[in-house]
């Protein structure tokens, strides 16, 4: 960990979205102005985040302490390599999602658009806040804000089904928030501080019982958003939300906040050493391994496309959790990088699902046969992203998997290697039939179908391009691979 | 001159204005509410000045009528009483402004009786907070109770019955308290708190001390409305005129909680509470029980005001639990919750009153579409609800945070669990309200874009202003909680501890 430099940039990364949220609320009657606030904030935020990367790569994170929240604990932001990966991912994808959202909600003439864009902005602000939090209390603050701001988006449709899904969502996430809060309090009392520190907060002579207690409480807290089985049930239900919400929040911001939290807890609160010494890593590793396999199997059984993608997300998130549990240089580099790669490819798939829905009204896997001929761009992009996620080059999935598998070998934990490889096969098993059916089976009805508006096509082509670029040149234009390597070295720096 | 008489002025300003109000109202009945709000604002300004005076120069002692204590009545402003006085006066000022803005027909008497009673209640509450004399405290408790009986009863109909219930239970509480004070007086021969604290160790061997303390706790427990002594509270909060509940709910029960903390820590001392008796443990269990009972009962309510009343029972439990644990952090949490709960419960009851006026009722079913009809009110409701649930940076989170730290660091895992469980109960009952207020169930294939606009009928600016002030206060109290805790509440929590 290098010297910290005080800077206003971290605030410039968090505040635009929150400020835009306020402006959105007062621009409800002028939709174009309202959406301009979102776009402007997304640009500003992306700039601020990317501007902080050089300092983090040089080893000196930018830092900003605002007001004291509790004696000795400030509301503080700190832009280290790990945080910037998540922040950059959320910011850039927010920009594209906003464009896509505009096309989506206007095509469907959705109600409550102001509430929709308001909550979206708050969510992204909160996600970047989670990313840049310098201590557990700040982390908790933004984490809870993210939970609450997502709720109106989950219940957006206001159907009885959506309202039920919203209750389940709140039950899981606020229940997890309660566990997280308990974990924060125990950490504060046991370690005397809440500031994230590479290598962990606990000294070597901390009682094993305390480590296990903190592990269990914080693990529950972040595990729900990371959707590890058996804490995953809210995620498939939350697919009732409008597709752009599923795309950004349930493939990137919210669920990544969970896996990001796992990485933070492993690397900066408990520390890889304490995790290894207590044996807690083994529990985490097996839960993650089981999740990867079970969720992939569940995905095979889904007919609703978004639910299939949701189970695929559950599985892929645990790639990262497993990487965190193994805590080797390779597995951590791969885990951090997989946040970016999975995020980019999964958002592409959701964009495709939404585009298909807007263009054809179809949501089921069994209805996609032959669509490749009418929607060549959408389905072509879907194929590239789906195969990339399964680990087929050139899209980026293969690269992070390569690091993750290397890390598993490094750790000598062979079950992980088996799980990673078999999951890739399962990915192919549920994605390839969709692609084949779309391009090589006859279309049933709907000869007049055509591609959705450019407002939706451009973002999905862009995210797919980014997904491919991340595989070919992972350090251009944003230095994600270097950041991931720096973050991994940072987390293991306590050794 | 003002500096010297400040403790007395905190009582005299609202009391004098209240007494003069009928006279003023005969001149012009339209002056009654503005004069009331002005008196409240002056009291609040004085109370805040009192806080700074205490911080700068230490506790302020004032001998009423020049009779020195322990013979005369003593008024004391120390960190704790100054803090509570400021909270009570400031929040009550908002309540009075709200009551004036609401222009409740129940309080529209020709001689300004409604506002005069409100000021009498405020004066009595300030008296309870600043007095340093146990019997004087009883007198102010009774003055507050009498004003409350009349104010609740002003609602007519079922409110009369609710008021009668409170007459019975409130008198019972006051009698218990008086009996306890009588016993202490018989044992020590003094009623002045500081004097009593000095003389009590000599009498502590007597078996009557625990009896006296038990009676006092029971009496104040009724006034606080902690379960199972809360029987009067739900009806009173449901049927009293909205303007009255807006004044009662935020602060009235807190004042009794303050009196309890004052007697426990200034008179008995923390060693008595924690070591020499089962008092601390008993209070902690009482508080924990109240958190759960109130929260569970709140789940079952279909009327917003009744739901909020049970939520008050639950939230008072947090304060009692913090007092019972009696660690530095738990006391800071309990005292901070006096502020936070006053702000959020005030805000919520303001919303309920405004909704009753505009939407014709506060049954959850009446609140459908409220988010479109009353957007500003709804926004305030959301802020207060999130504070109740404990979402930072709203203030409600931070009082629970300190309480939680207090429970964890003293190894009371059960109480830590109860504090967290109370938050989860609040999630369920508050989001149930939000679901009714903000969502409109529709069919699956209806994207709702073609819905007709509804005309807004939000509350009048005079009602919205105090409401928004409290909502902003909730967030401000959260963000700046560390200044309040470090600057004031650590000192307040050390009363009787050192």
Residues of B whose CB is below 8 A from A125: none
Beta partners for residue B60, in sequence order:
B77
- How many Å lie between the alpha carbon of A75 and the closest alpha carbon of chain B? 9
Residue in B with minimal Cα distance to A188: B405
Measured between alpha carbons, how far is residue B468 from residues A389, B41, B201, B473 in Å?
49, 17, 49, 8
Q: Quickly list H helices, B154-241.
A: 158-188, 193-203, 208-224, 233-239
Cα B35 from Cα B37, distance rounded (Å): 6
The pLDDT confidence band at residue A188, using thresholds 50, 70 and 90, is very high
Cα A349 from Cα A307, distance rounded (Å): 12
Q: How far apart are the first and last CA of chain A?
A: 12
Nearest residue, CB atoms, A161 vs list B390, B391, B444: B444
Q: Compute the CA torsion angle B143, B146, B147, B153 (nearest 10 deg).
A: 170
Those residues with Cβ within 8 angstroms of residue B144's Cβ, 6 or more apart along the chain or in another chain: B121, B124, B125, B128, B252, B255
The dihedral region occupied by B360, where left means phi > 0, alpha psi between -120 and 50, and beta the remainder, is left
Residue in B with minimal Cα distance to A172: B424
The pLDDT confidence band at residue A417, using thresholds 50, 70 and 90, is very high
Nearest residue, CB atoms, A70 vs list B401, B416, B435: B401
- How many Å lie between the alpha carbon of B409 and the closest alpha carbon of chain A? 6
Cβ pair A486, A415 in contact under 8 A = no
Cβ pair B336, B484 in contact under 8 A = yes
Residues of A whose CB is below 8 A from B375: none
Nearest residue, CB atoms, A175 vs list B389, B424, B486: B424
Cβ pair A444, A297 in contact under 8 A = no
The tokens 């504060």 sit on which residue? Answer: A188
Cβ pair B402, B332 in contact under 8 A = yes
Q: How far apart are the first and last CA of chain B?
A: 32
- How many Å lie between the alpha carbon of B380 and the closest alpha carbon of chain A? 14
**Could you report the per-residue pLDDT of A36-77, keeping only the tens digit for each?**
998 999 999 999 999 998 888 887 788 898 888 888 888 999
Backbone angles phi, psi at A73, to 5 degrees: -125, 120
Identify the DSSP state of A201.
S
Beta partners for residue B63, in sequence order:
B74
Residue B386 to residue A159, Cβ atoms within 8 A: no
Angle at A387 between CA A381 and CA A391, to 5 degrees: 140
More confident call, A226 vs A449? A226
3-state secondary structure of A65: strand
Residue in B with minimal Cα distance to A146: B391
Question: Which mean pLDDT values do the consecutive 10-residue runs of chain B (498 residues) have?
Answer: 86 95 87 93 96 92 88 92 96 95 83 90 96 95 95 91 94 96 94 92 86 94 92 93 93 95 91 83 95 96 95 96 93 95 96 92 89 92 95 93 94 95 95 91 65 74 94 94 89 68
Which of B13, B244, B217, B251 lies closest to B129 in space, CA to CA?
Answer: B251
Residues of A whose CB is below 8 A from B427: 170, 174
- How many Å lie between the alpha carbon of A461 and the closest alpha carbon of chain B? 27
Cα B441 from Cα B457, distance rounded (Å): 22
- Is the pLDDT at A437 greater than 70? The verdict is yes
Cα B322 from Cα B310, distance rounded (Å): 19
Mutation for A interface: B379, B384, B430, B431, most A CBs within 10 A: B431
Measured between alpha carbons, how far is residue A5 from residues A60, A79, A86, A485, B136 in Å?
7, 10, 20, 21, 58
Backbone angles phi, psi at B108, to 5 degrees: -95, 30
Q: Compute the CA torsion angle B466, B468, B473, B479 (nearest 10 deg).
A: -170
Mutation for B interface: A112, A150, A209, A363, most B CBs within 10 A: A112
3-state secondary structure of A31: helix
Cβ pair A428, A358 in contact under 8 A = no
- Is the pLDDT at A110 greater than 90? The verdict is no
3-state secondary structure of A344: helix
The residue-averaged pLDDT of A361-384 equals 88
How confident is the model at residue A313, as a pLDDT? 93
Cα B265 from Cα B323, distance rounded (Å): 9
Give the tokens for residue B175: 């009698």
Nearest residue, CB atoms, B386 vs list A70, A148, A160: A148
How confident is the model at residue B396, as a pLDDT? 93
Cβ pair B215, B226 in contact under 8 A = no
Q: pTM, whole model, 2 decimals?
A: 0.94
Measured between alpha carbons, how far is residue B310 from residues A353, B295, B305 in Å?
46, 7, 9
Side-chain-side CA neighbours of B4 within 13 Å: the count stands at 4
How confident is the model at residue B79, as a pLDDT? 93
How many C-beta neighbours within 10 Å does residue B175 have?
Answer: 14
Distance, CA of B88 to chain centre: 7
- In terms of DSSP bridges, do strands A5-6 and A62-70 run parallel, antiparallel, or are they unpaired? parallel
Q: Is B444 exposed, middle or buried (0-12, 13-18, 19+ CB in 10 A)?
A: exposed
Residue in A with minimal Cα distance to B407: A185
- Chain A residues with CB under 8 Å of a chain B CB are 67-71, 75, 108-112, 137, 140-141, 144-145, 148, 152, 155, 157-161, 163, 166-167, 170, 174-175, 178, 181-182, 185-186, 188-189
H/E element, B354: helix B328-359
Those residues with Cβ within 8 angstroms of residue B8's Cβ, 6 or more apart along the chain or in another chain: B62, B64, B75
Identify the DSSP state of A111.
S
Angle at B7 between CA B2 and CA B13, to 5 degrees: 70
Cα B67 from Cα A442, distance rounded (Å): 101
Cα B268 from Cα A269, distance rounded (Å): 42
The pLDDT confidence band at residue A367, using thresholds 50, 70 and 90, is confident
Nearest residue, CB atoms, A70 vs list B442, B447, B482: B482
- Chain B residues with CB under 8 Å of a chain A CB are 386, 389-393, 398, 401-402, 404-405, 408-409, 416, 420, 423-424, 427, 431, 435, 438-444, 447-451, 479-483, 485-486
Nearest residue, CB atoms, A181 vs list B404, B481, B482: B404
Cα A136 from Cα A141, distance rounded (Å): 9
Which of A31, A23, A42, A169 lies closest to A93 in space, CA to CA?
Answer: A42
Cβ pair B377, B464 in contact under 8 A = yes
Residue A141 to residue B392, Cβ atoms within 8 A: yes
How confident is the model at residue A187, as a pLDDT? 94
Residue A71 to residue B442, Cβ atoms within 8 A: no
Give the tokens for residue A8: 């206003």
Q: Quickly list H helices, A133-264.
A: 136-154, 160-191, 208-225, 234-237, 243-248, 254-264
Which of B107, B123, B100 lies closest to B18 in space, CA to CA?
Answer: B123
Residues in chain A: 495
Nearest residue, CB atoms, B447 vs list A109, A170, A175: A109
Residues of B whose CB is below 8 A from A163: 435, 439, 441
Mutation for A interface: B291, B382, B410, B482, most A CBs within 10 A: B482
**Could you report the per-residue pLDDT of A295-306, keeping only the tens digit for each?**
999 999 999 999
Backbone angles phi, psi at B292, to 5 degrees: -75, -45
Angle at A368 between CA A364 and CA A373, to 5 degrees: 160
Report the share of chain A in percent with pLDDT over 70.
99
Nearest residue, CB atoms, B479 vs list A67, A111, A186: A67
- Is the pLDDT at A495 greater than 60? The verdict is no
In B341-487, where do the E strands start and end? Answer: none
H/E element, A74: strand A73-79
How many C-beta neighbours within 10 Å does residue A160 have?
Answer: 12
Cβ pair A366, A448 in contact under 8 A = no
- How many Å lie between the alpha carbon of A363 and the closest alpha carbon of chain B? 13
Cα A235 from Cα A247, distance rounded (Å): 12
- How many Å lie between the alpha carbon of B342 and the closest alpha carbon of chain A? 20
Residue B392 to residue A160, Cβ atoms within 8 A: no
Which of A36, A81, A151 lies closest to B431 in space, CA to CA?
Answer: A151
How confident is the model at residue B1, as a pLDDT? 65
Nearest residue, CB atoms, B447 vs list A111, A145, A189: A111
The tokens 């802020």 sit on which residue? Answer: B383
Residues of B whose CB is below 8 A from A144: 391-392
The pLDDT confidence band at residue A366, using thresholds 50, 70 and 90, is confident
How confident is the model at residue A476, as a pLDDT? 75
How many contacts, defined by CB atoms under 8 Å, are there between A and B?
95
């Amino acid at each position: 960990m290098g010297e910290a430099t005080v800077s206003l940039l971290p605030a410039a990364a968090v505040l635009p979205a929150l400020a835009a949220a306020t402006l959105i609320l007062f621009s409800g009657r002028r939709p174009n102005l309202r959406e301009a606030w979102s776009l402007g904030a997304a640009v500003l935020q992306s700039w601020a985040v990317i501007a902080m990367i050089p300092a983090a790569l040089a080893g000196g994170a930018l830092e900003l302490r605002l007001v004291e929240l509790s004696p000795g604990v400030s509301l503080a932001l700190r832009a280290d390599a790990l945080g910037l990966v998540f922040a950059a991912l959320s910011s850039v994808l927010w920009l594209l999602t906003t464009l896509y959202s505009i096309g989506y909600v206007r095509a469907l003439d959705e109600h409550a658009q102001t509430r929709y864009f308001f909550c979206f902005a708050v969510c992204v602000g909160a996600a970047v806040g989670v990313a840049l939090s310098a201590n557990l209390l700040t982390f908790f603050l933004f984490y809870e804000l993210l939970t609450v701001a997502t709720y109106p988006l989950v219940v957006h449709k206001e159907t009885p089904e959506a309202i039920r899904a919203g209750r389940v969502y709140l039950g899981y996430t606020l229940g997890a928030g309660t566990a997280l809060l308990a974990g924060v309090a125990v950490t504060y009392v046991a370690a005397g501080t809440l500031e994230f520190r590479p290598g962990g907060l606990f000294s070597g002579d901390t009682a094993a019982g305390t480590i296990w207690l903190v592990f269990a409480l914080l693990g529950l807290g972040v595990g729900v958003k990371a959707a590890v089985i058996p804490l995953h049930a809210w995620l498939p239900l939350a697919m009732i939300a409008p597709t752009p919400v599923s795309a950004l929040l349930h493939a990137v911001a919210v669920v990544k906040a969970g896996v990001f939290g796992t990485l933070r807890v492993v690397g900066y609160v408990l520390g890889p050493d304490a995790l290894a010494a207590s044996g807690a890593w083994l529990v985490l590793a097996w839960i993650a391994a089981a999740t990867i396999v079970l969720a992939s199997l569940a995905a095979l059984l889904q007919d609703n496309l978004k639910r299939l993608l949701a189970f695929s997300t559950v599985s892929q998130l645990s790639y990262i959790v497993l990487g965190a549990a193994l805590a080797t240089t390779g597995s951590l580099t791969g885990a951090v990088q997989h946040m970016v790669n999975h995020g980019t490819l999964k958002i592409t798939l959701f964009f495709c699902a939404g585009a298909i829905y807007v263009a054809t009204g179809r949501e089921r896997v069994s209805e996609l046969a032959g669509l490749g001929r009418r929607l060549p761009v959408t389905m072509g992009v879907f194929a590239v992203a789906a195969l990339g996620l399964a680990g087929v080059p050139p899209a980026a999935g293969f690269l992070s998997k390569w690091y993750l598998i290397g890390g598993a070998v490094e750790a000598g934990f062979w079950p992980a290697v088996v799980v990673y490889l078999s999951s890739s096969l399962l990915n192919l098993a549920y994605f390839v039939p969709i692609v084949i059916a779309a391009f090589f089976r006859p279309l049933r009805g709907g000869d007049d179908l055509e591609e959705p508006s450019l407002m939706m096509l451009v973002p999905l082509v862009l995210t797919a391009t980014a997904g491919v670029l991340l595989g070919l040149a992972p350090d251009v234009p944003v230095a994600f691979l270097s950041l991931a390597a720096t973050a991994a070295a940072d987390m293991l720096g306590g050794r | 001159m003002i500096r010297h008489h400040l403790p007395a002025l905190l009582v005299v300003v609202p009391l004098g204005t209240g007494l003069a109000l009928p006279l003023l109202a005969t001149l012009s009945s339209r002056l009654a509410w503005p004069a009331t709000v002005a008196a409240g604002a002056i009291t609040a300004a004085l109370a805040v000045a009192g806080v700074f005076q205490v911080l700068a120069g230490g506790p302020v002692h004032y001998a009423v009528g020049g009779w020195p204590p322990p013979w005369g009545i003593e008024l004391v402003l120390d960190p704790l009483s100054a803090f509570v006085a400021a909270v009570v006066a400031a929040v009550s000022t908002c309540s009075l402004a709200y009551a004036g803005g609401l222009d409740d027909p129940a309080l529209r008497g020709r001689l300004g009786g409604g506002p005069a009673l409100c000021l009498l209640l405020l004066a009595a509450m300030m008296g309870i907070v600043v007095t340093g004399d146990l019997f004087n405290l009883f007198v102010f408790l009774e003055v507050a109770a009498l004003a409350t009986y009349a104010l609740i009863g002003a609602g007519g109909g079922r409110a009369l019955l609710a008021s009668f219930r409170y007459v019975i239970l409130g008198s019972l509480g006051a009698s218990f308290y008086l009996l306890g004070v009588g016993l202490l007086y018989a044992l020590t021969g003094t009623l002045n708190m500081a004097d009593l604290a000095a003389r009590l160790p000599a009498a502590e061997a007597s078996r009557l001390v625990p009896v006296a303390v038990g009676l006092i706790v029971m009496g104040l427990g009724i006034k606080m409305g902690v379960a199972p002594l809360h029987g009067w509270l739900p009806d009173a909060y449901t049927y009293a005129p909205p303007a009255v509940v807006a004044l009662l709910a935020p602060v009235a029960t807190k004042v009794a909680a303050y009196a309890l903390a004052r007697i426990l820590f200034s008179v008995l001392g923390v060693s008595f509470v924690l070591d020499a008796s089962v008092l601390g443990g008993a209070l902690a269990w009482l508080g924990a029980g109240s958190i759960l009972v109130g929260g569970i009962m709140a789940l079952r309510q279909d009327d917003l005001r009744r739901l909020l009343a049970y939520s008050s029972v639950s939230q008072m439990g947090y304060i009692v639990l913090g007092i019972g644990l009696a660690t530095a952090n738990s006391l800071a949490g309990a005292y901070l919750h006096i502020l936070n709960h006053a702000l959020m419960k005030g805000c919520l009851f303001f919303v309920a009153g405004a909704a009753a006026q505009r939407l014709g009722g506060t049954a959850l079913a009446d609140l459908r579409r409220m988010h479109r009809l009353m957007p500003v009110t709804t926004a305030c409701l959301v802020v207060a609800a999130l504070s109740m649930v404990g979402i930072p940076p709203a203030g409600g989170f931070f009082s629970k945070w300190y309480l939680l730290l207090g429970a964890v660091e003293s190894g009371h895992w059960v109480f830590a669990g109860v504090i967290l469980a109370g938050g989860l109960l609040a999630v369920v009952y508050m989001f149930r309200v939000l679901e009714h207020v903000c969502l409109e169930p529709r069919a699956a294939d209806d994207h709702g874009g073609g819905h007709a606009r509804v005309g807004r009928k939000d509350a009048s600016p005079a009602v919205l202003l105090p409401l928004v002030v409290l909502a902003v206060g909730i967030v401000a109290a959260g963000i700046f909680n560390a200044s309040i805790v470090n600057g004031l509440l650590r000192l307040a929590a050390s009363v009787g501890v050192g």
